[in-house]
Structure 1
Amino acid sequence: MPLVLTNVLGIAGIVVWHLQGSNRPTGRLIVQIVFFVGMSLVLYLGGISPQHVDEGNLQGFAALLAKSALILWWTHLAWTIIGLVRIWLMLNRGPREAHLVRDMTVGVIYPGVALSIIGFVFGMPVGTLIATSGIVAIVFGLALQNTLGDLFSGIALTLGRTYAIGDWIRMKDGPEGRVVETNWRSANLLTAEYNIVVVPNSVLARQALTNLSRPDDTRQITLTVRIVPTQPSFAEEAMCSALQGSTRIVKDPPPIVALKRIDATAIEVDLLFRIADPADWAAARNEIIDLIYSQCEADGLALAAPATSLIFGPAAIDGEKTVRCIGARSSGAV
């Protein structure tokens, strides 16, 4: 009777579990727990251990009932554990991490339950099977070394929450772009040039990454401007006015104008401002350069050439001595 009741509860649990539907994970979990506890209680009261069945007194149909009852019990045990892990992941982790950990849990529990059924229910030597499968696993591991490296690197990056879909990342020795897709093997980055770069997970795990989207998506840009010597406060006010006229930079926190150095040829000023989207750095920089030029024209300021390519051409205009600067612009300076 305990074996018959265990089989009935196991089959009824499967039917009710399917009737709950995939959109009711909590209901399915409750069904799994209730029927698993009921089956365990019946086996316990009947003096039957899921790890060992005395088949000496069971013959024919009774032996078949015993095997089916234990198979159902081990199957419900696997489903119950997976259901509990799934609910815990939904409450404590994001969708991407939850999906990965759930797949890993399923990949561990199902083989373990299958080996338990083979060993405890059918009485087959599991140790020999494990040893044989271990040799096969070593052969496949050596053949798929790079692929497995990408796989485990992807697991480490996901569990560590290094980045998420939509984050803009910069690699130490690699491309820079927005993460648009991740999988078990690689991550796809959308660069500022609107190209997709596929980067293996093992490469991402080995390199130092800068996540430009954390704590937020804003990105700071530093632009150096060289101005022909004048009153420093006047140059500072002119640069502040240029920054305030921009529509592409973030105004909170406000941009910063820092007087870097002064000598006989120029005042160097660093303009520090933030943009909302790292992909807009070129447009924002171009706008700021245009505003700086217009503001210098309006305030009568002259832009100084880089110190490495400075050529002076004095000229007398309307009785005033002016200095015209000719030279190529260096990287990062106006």
Structure 2
Amino acid sequence: MLGDDHILPVVLINILGLAGIVIWHLQGCNRPTGRLIVQILFFAGMSLVLYLGGIAPHQPDEPYAEGLAAMLSKSARILWWTHLAWTIIGLLHIYVRLNRKPREAHLILDMAVAAIYLGVALSVMGFVFGLPVATLVTTSGVVALILGLALQNTLGDVFSGIALTLGKAYSIGDWVQLSDGTAGRVTETNWRSTNLLTGLNNIVVLPNSLLAKQSLTSLSRPDESHLLTLSLRFAAGQRPRIIEGAMRSVLDASTRIVKDPPPAVALKTIDATAIEVELQFRVASLATGVSAMNELIDLIHDRCDASALALALPA
């Protein structure tokens, strides 16, 4: 059995480990800083007891250890490795919060958490139970190969999601438009798909592998403002200079378009029947585009009546 000088530290480590789990759950998910403090304190206490008791968590029990003492020793080492994983994960979460990383960074964070748990699981099997880790890794590699072949599409979505996240092609809240015409605001990204909220208030779920194969236009970068145009046709018998001045006054009177950079009036073409004019202006976001366009059409109607300007028939 374990020496008597090791029994007390082993029991104390088990008590600290279980108490830390209970208090960690009582903190709740809404207090990540409090949880991290609890994790660090209990992990530090367990590590101190291990050091003072001369117990190495990376070494299996002596061959003569058996019975209740061996079970307590193994549980103490398992709890220590578990608290080590939780402490590292807690530090990663706090790092992401303090640096105000984008919300989609949770994909990379999930990968790190999975790697930490995998490393701790292998450490427990090798250091606590004395299992041949190399054999387990080889066996798990064969199993991973079989699963990879069976889950090719899902894994394609996963790795495409990672590539899109690292490439920072978009962020949560961005308006994007795809080459197939799909457009909407990014509301969620996860391991398998990206959700877009369209202008019709529908959620479009796009697999990440499909999204990675299309060209993507960000309508929110470098800012949310967006260029719109409105084409008009005036009767050819009127002076282009007068038409241009009237349309400039319309743009100046609008309260729903962006004035910096200033809007422009472009005289596009002239023929025997019509003068084609294009109003070029920016709106603060795509969400205000419809209301701005409606306001401009109303102002154009009033200005044409006031200036006796006649619109031409459609081409």
| Interval containing the TM-score (normalised by the shorter chain) | 0.7 to 0.9
Q: In the alignment, is the contact (CA less than 8 A) between 1:149 and 1:202 conserved in 2?
A: yes
Unmatched segments (≥5 aa) in structure 1? 305-325, 330-334
For residue 107 of structure 1, report the CA deviation from its aligned partner.
1.9
The separation in 2 between residues aligned to 1:155 and 1:303, in whole angstroms, is 54
Q: In the alignment, is the contact (CA less than 8 A) between 2:39 and 2:87 conserved in 1?
A: yes
Q: 2:199 aligns with which of 175, 192, 207?
A: 192
Asked whether 1:52 is paired with 2:65, we answer no
For residue 46 of structure 1, report the CA deviation from its aligned partner.
3.4
Asked whether 1:240 is paired with 2:248, we answer yes
- SS at 2:141 equivalent: helix
Change beyond 3 A, Cα 1:222–1:98? same
Compute the TM-score of the two structures, normalised by the length of structure 1: 0.78
The separation in 2 between residues aligned to 1:19 and 1:251, in whole angstroms, is 54
Which residue in the other structure is 1:132 paired with? 139
1:226-248 per-residue CA deviation (whole Å, 9 max, x = no partner) reads 44375544232111122234354
Aligned ranges 1:257-276 → 2 under 5 Å: 257-260=265-268, 267-276=275-284
Which residue in the other structure is 1:323 paired with? none
Which residue in the other structure is 2:130 paired with? 123
Q: Considering only CA atoms, is the larger Rg found in Structure 1 or Structure 2?
A: 1
The separation in 2 between residues aligned to 1:132 and 1:59, in whole angstroms, is 29
Aligned ranges 1:96-115 → 2 under 5 Å: 96-115=103-122
CA RMSD of superposed structures (Å): 2.9
For residue 163 of structure 1, report the CA deviation from its aligned partner.
2.9
Change beyond 3 A, Cα 1:229–1:107? farther
For residue 81 of structure 1, report the CA deviation from its aligned partner.
0.6
Which deviates further from its counterpart, 106-115 or 279-288?
279-288
Count of residue correspondences: 307
Which residue in the other structure is 1:322 paired with? none
- Percent identity, aligned pairs only, is 66
Unmatched segments (≥5 aa) in structure 2? 1-5
Aligned ranges 1:163-312 → 2 under 5 Å: 163-227=170-234, 228=236, 231-260=239-268, 267-303=275-311
Compute the TM-score of the two structures, normalised by the length of structure 2: 0.83
Q: In the alignment, is the contact (CA less than 8 A) between 1:171 and 1:209 conserved in 2?
A: yes
Q: In the alignment, is the contact (CA less than 8 A) between 1:256 and 1:273 conserved in 2?
A: yes
Change beyond 3 A, Cα 1:194–1:26? closer
Q: In the alignment, is the contact (CA less than 8 A) between 2:244 and 2:265 conserved in 1?
A: yes
Asked whether 1:36 is paired with 2:43, we answer yes
Q: In the alignment, is the contact (CA less than 8 A) between 1:229 and 1:262 conserved in 2?
A: no
The separation in 2 between residues aligned to 1:11 and 1:195, in whole angstroms, is 47
For residue 176 of structure 1, report the CA deviation from its aligned partner.
1.5
Task: Write the letter of the residue equivalent to 1:44.
Answer: Y
